[in-house]
Every structure is written in structure tokens, then in C-alpha cells.
Structure 1
Amino acid sequence: MASLRRVKVLLVLNLIAVAGFVLFLAKCRPIAVRSGDAFHEIRPRAEATNLSAHSASPIQDAVLKRLSLLEDIVYRQLNGLSKSLGLIEGYGGRGKGGLPATLSPAEEEKAKGPHEKYGYNSYLSEKISLDRSIPDYRPTKCKELKYSKELPQISIIFIFVNEALSVILRSVHSAVNHTPTHLLKEIILVDDNSDEEELKAPLEEYVHKRYPGLVKVVRNQKREGLIRARIEGWKAATGQVTGFFDAHVEFTAGWAEPVLSRIQENRKRVILPSIDNIKQDTFEVQRYENSAHGYSWELWCMYISPPKDWWDAGDPSLPIRTPAMIGCSFVVNRKFFGEIGLLDPGMDVYGGENIELGIKVWLCGGSMEVLPCSRVAHIERKKKPYNSNIGFYTKRNALRVAEVWMDDYKSHVYIAWNLPLEVGPSSPPRLLRTVILVFDRSLPLIR
């Protein structure tokens, strides 16, 4: 095992050395090489695949062939990791391009149990590549925008509990494949005390071998729920910016730069990538219309029409101001998130935290916006499999938000739910509310 590891390391070092040499040649101006009475240019790397057809020098041709061979060897080694888990890498196969994937009648029968267990077709997911491409639904103008090369780095945080391994790893692969290397500080997987054996040693071994030094795994010793699990992910993060995502998403090319650019301009912005839908039965990726995220009196989040001034501007690439967030993905400056008290740790499991964060951000001098130039596709499960009493927790958390933040309007929330509940001690978050509001209003005087 140790000798195999050394071979892999040597292969990777060879690959890096040769790649560096080729990049050096690519950066240099074309070099004229005498061959008899003729001169031949050594072309930039962008044309490397056609070098032999354009009379490249024998030395560079040999270097490029060696590079290609080493890439192939390393890829086969890495691809072997997924094969041992019964999964697939590469850009082809079922579901390529976000098209619906299908199963044979015999496979459909095998898929029924796992589908019910996870709330999506996990059996089909195992037949879809971890690296599949998905449609780019960004407005045309977004693809023409240019961004600074000096953007802050992001820590991407995925929360999971008893999720299908293939879906988690596709989220990780997609994040790595579509986030520029210099902007991706790390990926943090927070396991909220899963029971599934494949999410223990097999997951950890895979990510540490496939992405050494890039992926961290944080394990909760007891079930904390989505809200407190996100706080644990934030504690482990070291990037200037933190992005929180469900562990069943796929990213579109160019998703990161517009998000990081908006936060760089104003650290108090909370950015929500636009959400597209991954169908839970076929994994087809469907485009959702540009929307803001609002909420009902039950404090249940929903898609709503963007504000009138956004429509009047006539530019679908512009950010959309939003009062709250759906909750499956949001990106925030790490320090600012800490300054406003993170999420309320007194909330349990799921629900309400997305409304609370929106209220808190807007009241504390920040803003929240949906970004059409950044798109993330998300599986909308047919049920939440991790808790059979999810309605109780969403109701309790909603009433907790009302008690802490809504003052005279909280009665509307109680009426909407038609049942008062014990929401737990609200003094700590109410005190936090007072502190951050006073501090925010004092800043102009301090300055």
C-alpha cells in the first residue's frame, strides 16, 4: 500500500513538473527554432493539442506526449477511487448536460426502496457521473461580465445527514470543477451524526485521496440539526467568505466570481445564487425563473416576484433584492456572519433560520440579494427523510423568530399557525438583537 502511495506521489510530481515546463513555454513569446532552412514556432499551450500537426519541435512534442501520458495515468488512478465505491467519473454517460436519466424496467424495481428512503432516486444517481455537466441558464449578459482577479477565497460548507454517497460526492466534484482553484479555500463536509456506514470511512477515505488537503470532514457527535450543523461548519472554516449549501446541489460554470465580487464590494451583503431544480426522480435539471424569496405569515419561505425597480431596469443580470432566503444555499462574509450572531442555536432541526437571517441582516445594516449571474441546481426532495416530525420544528422555530424579532406583528404569526407552542428561552437572542441594533446605529457616531 505504501509503495503504491509513493508511486502516485511521484506520478503527480512528474505531472506538476511537466505542466510547469509547458506553461513556462506557453507564457514565453513564440520561439523560432531552426530546422534545416525552415523556422518553426513553439506555439502557446492553448494550441498544444494541434502541435504535431503544426510542425512542433521534437523536444516540445515529446514533452507534451509525456504530459498526456502522465495525465492519463493519474486520472486512471483517481478514477479507480470512485469505481471502488460503485460510482462513475468523467463527463459523459446518463444525465449528461442535465438531461433526464432513465433506468431499465429491472433497474426501476431495484430503485424503489432507495428512492423512498432518501426522497430522491439514489439508485439512478449512482449511474450518473460525479462530473456530469449541467445547463448554463445564466442570462447572456452574465457571460460577458469581467471580474477582478483579486477576489476573496471561499470555504464551501456542505451539511448532510444520511444522504446518498453519490449525491454528496457529486456536490463536491461539481464545486471543485466549477470553482476557480485560486478562489476555493476549502470544502467542509459536516456530517450531522449519520448512521450510514458508507458515509463514514468510505467517504472520508475517498475525499482525502481524491482531494488531499482540500476537503475537511467535521463529524457531530450527536444529531444537532441543520441550523447548529451550519454553525459547526462556520467554526471550521478559514476562508474570508463562507458558502453554505445542502449536500445535494450541482454548480454552474462561473457561479463563484459574481458572488465573491458582490461581497468584496460590500461585506454586509448576503448573496443567494439563483436556484434551478434537479428533479428527484430523473435528475433532469430544470430552469427556474428569476425570483426573490419572500415568506408567509407562518414564516414559510416561498418564491415571489422580484421588486418593481428590478423589472423596470430591464436587465435580467442585475441582483434582486430579497427579504429572506429559501435556505438551501447562501454565501456570506465569514466575519460579518459572526458579528450578527450567526444563526440562532436555540432553533432545532430545520426551518425558520432562513427568515431570521433575512430579518437580522436587513435590520443590522446589511442586505440580501439573489444573483441571476450565479446559478446552483438543487434537488427538491419529495420528503424530508431525516425527521418524521419536521412540521413541529418548523412551527416552533417560526414562533421563536416571531418572539425575538417581530414585536407587535408576532400575533399574526400565532394566528397563522393557530396554536401557541413553547419556543424555548428567547432572552439570549433578544439580548443579541439589542446589542447588534445599538452597535449598528452607533457606527456613524463612532466614525
Structure 2
Amino acid sequence: MTCLLATKSPALIGCFVVDRRYFEEIGLLDEGMEVYGGENVELGIRVWLCGGSVEVLPCSRIAHIERAHKPYTDDLAANVRRNAFRVAEVWMDEFKNHVYMAWNVPLQDSGIDIGDISERKLLRERLQCRPFRWFLKNIYTEMRTYADTIAYGELKNSLKPDLCVDQGPDSDNIPILYLCHGMTPQNVYYTSSGQLRVGVLSPTIDDNDNKCLVDVNGRPRLLECSYAGNKRMKLSWLFTQGGSIQNTESRYCLEIIQSSGVEVGYQLVLQTCTTQTWTITNILTTKVL
């Protein structure tokens, strides 16, 4: 059998082979992480930024002896989130806000204790590691970034603050109101160009399925942002925290009205602006205030 050449990878899974002396020099695993989740991601980023490389060897064989029972809590989400923020604060520089956006947590005063990261920052300084921007430019070039985001989180109307804008069923392309739960379908992102993106964001530049709020013949719709932009559709909105959401072209406002035909009793509409106001959970820049 012919062995293929090694392929460089931006990340690694939990099982890997590393020279023991190099592993010690690079800082081992981050002992400040708790329980489970994120160690491999942190190590992959650190190795690349600090002069090493992560490679997949097709002809290699690694034995992994798995525990009969994993000694973890049933719900690992809190630990994974905490560890992710720890990675962001040590290694991701100005891109750390992407991790907070992904978890829908405020960048400032998150209320989450990530532990002492001073030693890990000293390690980065001692190893003279590169900035995270270098990693995005040279190693993970496929990763999509969202530096234009200026606010994110749950989008609520003053008339019914227990309801949030929700992407609704994927097949409908019709945004809805639903009881607030803060999960992915209710993640809203407002950008410096005036776009309102709703739902999951594409992780790589090869995907063009981000959904944007668009005024389509006076009705609120969710269409792929790239498609709506190429077709010069009405996808730019004026939004101020605690103010209205108004389309820059049609001048209609996104508002809510009572409706007996939907589960929660209210639906989204575009209409002549009234006194209805909106708030979004997290602000990244005062431009939106």
C-alpha cells in the first residue's frame, strides 16, 4: 500500500501523537480547563500560533482505550462554554467576540468565571506566538469571520417582550415570533451595513446560506444574504437600541400585530412606523446605540 503524504490540518481531535519533550515545551494541556471540552481546540490553535504544525498522517495507527464509563456530568454545556471562553481570551485576540456571539453571551460582564489565565498569557508571550489573525490568514483560510457584527442576541419588541424574533421553519423563509428561549433559531445579528441576519451563521466562506431579513413586496422574509444582495433586494435596516427597525428603502418598519392564526397570538409585519420599539440582547459597539 502506498502511503499518502501528510495533510496539514487547522485542528485536531482528542487522539493525537506528539513528541513528549515538545509537548512539555509547548505547554502541555491547559490545566485551567474543567471537566471536558475544548482541550484539543486550544492545543491545535496554540501549536500553530507558536511555531508548530498539526498534520494528518494517512498511514498512521493510534490506539485509543476508551473508558467503560465516562466520569462526566450529564450536561457538559456549561463546562464546554467556560473552556471555550478561556481559549478565546488567551488566543483569539480581536476575534474572541465570535465565541461570545456563538454562545449568545455578552462580551463584557458575562458572569462566567473562566479561572486564572495569567500563566497561559505568559506562556504565549514566552513562546513568542503569532496573532490569531495569522492563523485565519494562513492556516484556516476557509473560516468565515463576522467582524461587521455590532449587536447580537435575542431581538424583542416592547409590546411583547416574552416573544423573540425566530427564523421559523427552514422551508418557509418566513420569520416568526416565538416564546424566547435563546437558542440558535433566535440568534439575530445586526451588522454595520444594516443587515439583520437570523439563525445559524455559516462557519466557512464556501457556505452562502446565511439568512437575512428582507422586505419582499411589503412582507418580512428570510432569504440568503448573498442572493438578496446580488438581486439588489431591500435588506438594509436602520436600527437603534430601544428604537424602531426601519427598512432604508421602503421606509416600512418591522412591527408586530395581534393574529389569531398563529400559535403565540402575534406575528411580524412591515407597516408604516408607529411607536413600537425593539431591543437586542448584546451590544458590541456604541454605533447601534
Shorter-chain TM-score range? 0.3 to 0.5
Question: TM-score, with normalisation over the residues of structure 1?
Answer: 0.26
Bigger fraction of residues in helix:
1
Superposition TM-score, scaled by structure 2 size: 0.40
